[in-house]
Amino acid sequence: MSNSLAGFNRRPRAEAEAELLACCASRAFAAAVAARRPYAARERLAEAAETAVRELTWPDVLEALAAHPRIGERPSGDGRESRWSRQEQAGAHADAPEAEELRAELAAGNRAYEQRFGYVYLVCAAGLSGAELLARLRARLDNDEETERGVVRDELVKITRLRLGKLMEGEGR
C-alpha cells in the first residue's frame, strides 16, 4: 500500500483511521482527520491533524495519553508506535555512567507528575537529552491544571505532526 499522500487519501476510511491512530491514539482524532480527506498537500493534512487535536474533548486527550509510555521507560511491543516512541525517547536512554541516576529521577518525576495531574507526563521528546526531559518535567510540576492541559495539547500536536511525517514517509511499516 502506498505511503504517499495520494495513497492515504485513497485508503478506505477504516484503514486511514487505523494509520492515524499510530500518530495520535484518540479515536475521535482519527475519525476527524480521516473524514476531512482528501488532502491536497501534506501541510494541509498536518494542519487538519493539529485542528483535530486542539478540538478533542479532555477524555479524548486522555485516551491518546494512555497510549504513551512514561518518559524514561522503554515502550513494550513491536508495533509502529512503540518503535517511534523508542526513537523519540532516545535521549532518555543514554548509556552514560549517570544514566541510571537520571532514569531514577525521571521515574520519580513521572510519579510526582501523575499524582499531581492524574495522567502521564507527555512531552515531545525527539531530540532532547534525558537531562532536558527531566528539567521540563520538573518545571511543569509548577503549572496549574488549566495551564498544564494547554501544554499537554501543544506537546500532543508536536508528537502528532512528527509521527504524521513518519507515516507519510513510510517509516515503521
Q: Which of 99, 40, 54, 46 is nearest to 74 (CA)?
A: 99
Q: DSSP character for 11?
A: S
Quote the pLDDT of residue 130: 87
End-to-end CA distance of the chain: 10
**For residue 82, what pLDDT is reported?**
47
The cell for 116 is 499531581
pLDDT for 2 equals: 47
- The predicted pLDDT at position 76 comes to 57
Give pLDDT, residue 81: 55
Which contiguous run of DSSP H or E holds residue 6? Answer: helix 5-10
Each of the 173 residues of the chain gets a pLDDT tens digit; together they read: 346 899 999 999 999 999 999 999 999 999 999 999 999 999 999 999 999 999 999 999 999 999 988 887 665 556 545 454 445 544 444 555 667 888 899 999 999 999 999 999 999 998 898 899 999 999 999 999 999 999 999 999 999 999 999 999 875 44
- Residue 171's pLDDT is 52
CATH code of the domain containing 116: 1.10.3330.10
Helix axis angle, 145-169 to 42-55, nearest 10°: 150
CA–CA–CA angle 59, 61, 64 (5° rounding): 115
pLDDT confidence of residue 69: 87
Split into its structural domains, the chain has a count of: 1
What is the Cα–Cα distance from 24 to 99, expressed in whole angstroms?
Answer: 29
**pLDDT value of position 75:** 55
Phi-psi region of 76 (alpha: psi -120 to 50; beta: other; left: phi over 0): beta
Structural domain span for residue 41: 5-169
